[in-house]
């Protein structure tokens, strides 16, 4: 179970990471977070006791190498639709002979002194999560998950629904069936099925249901969504206490 960062501030990273969740994703795909900010967030997440993961904006070997070199425990790679794309994502994370990740000396290696240890552990311990968020990925899910080195799948519910012509209709039977196909194939192959539970008000109910269904890699809301939800709840209480005759603000 993990948190989700969309704001590149060390204090926010520390708060989310210290919550007791297992990992925190730094989202580079749908935010303005850049590689330099990822480097600043990594130590804050680690020091607070959580594992830093990064959602890269695309399946790009040079970018995946860069975030791994900065100390990411693993990556989420968006919009994987074919076995070849999945294999390229795995190869970008793993060192030879399992992959093609270039060798450098960066933060993950203690800037040099921990190189041997990092190189030795990387192929066993680094995490590769493939995001399956298009109807083409659902059609090819068996072949995608046959690729060695995938640790978890991650359903992108909004993109998946949009690819099916049902944008935002997350409870539509066809969208739910597509998600079920990914979940079932993941479980069949011993790969952790993942999903993002978006809206804070619904997370408690959805989390219980998702765990019961078999999901094991679950992102809970995001920093911005949880912050907004909390303050809107407080504002609602303020309006209630002020009464109907009070000014709107």
Q: Catalytic amino acids?
A: 30
The CB density around residue 237, as the number of other CB atoms within 10 Å, is 10
DSSP state letters, 192-232 = B-EEEE--GGGHHHHHHHHHHHT--EEEE--HHHHHHHHHH
Q: What is the 3-state secondary structure (H, E, C) of 32-43?
A: CCCHHHHHHHHH
Residues 41 and 21: their CA atoms lie apart, in Å, by: 16
219, burial (CB in 10 Å: exposed 0-12, middle 13-18, buried 19+): buried
Distances (CA, A) of 240 to 189, 191, 228, 248: 51, 47, 18, 11
Answer for the pair 68, 75: CB distance below 8 angstroms, yes or no.
Answer: yes
Q: What is the CA radius of gyration of the chain?
A: 19
Tokens of 217: 């890699």
Using a CB cutoff of 8 Å and minimum separation of 24, what contacts does 120-123 make? 122/68, 122/93, 122/94, 122/95, 123/94, 123/95, 123/98, 123/99
Residues with Cβ within 8 Å of residue 249, at least 6 apart in sequence:
none
Tokens of 190: 């011993």
């Amino acid at each position: 179970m993990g948190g989700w960062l969309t704001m590149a501030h060390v204090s926010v990273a520390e708060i989310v990471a210290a919550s007791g969740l297992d990992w925190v994703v730094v989202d580079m795909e749908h935010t303005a977070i850049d590689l330099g900010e990822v480097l600043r967030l990594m130590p804050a997440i680690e020091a607070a006791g959580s594992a830093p993961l990064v959602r890269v904006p695309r399946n790009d070997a040079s970018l995946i190498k860069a975030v791994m070199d900065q100390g990411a425990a693993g990556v989420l790679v968006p919009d994987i639709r074919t076995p070849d794309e999945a294999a390229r994502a795995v190869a970008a994370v793993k060192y030879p002979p399992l992959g093609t990740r270039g060798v450098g000396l960066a933060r993950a290696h203690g800037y040099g002194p921990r190189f041997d240890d990092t190189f030795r552990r990387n192929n066993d311990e680094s995490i590769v999560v493939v995001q399956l968020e298009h109807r083409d990925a659902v059609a090819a899910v068996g072949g995608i998950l046959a690729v060695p080195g995938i640790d978890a799948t991650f359903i992108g519910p909004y993109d998946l629904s949009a690819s099916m012509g049902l944008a935002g209709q997350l409870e539509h039977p066809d969208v739910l069936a597509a998600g079920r196909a990914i979940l079932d194939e993941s479980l069949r192959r011993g790969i952790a099925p993942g999903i993002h539970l978006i809206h804070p008000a619904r997370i408690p109910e959805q989390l219980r249901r998702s765990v019961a269904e078999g999901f094991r890699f679950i992102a809970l809301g995001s920093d911005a969504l949880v912050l907004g939800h909390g303050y809107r709840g407080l504002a609602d209480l303020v309006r209630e206490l002020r009464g109907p005759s009070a000014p709107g603000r």
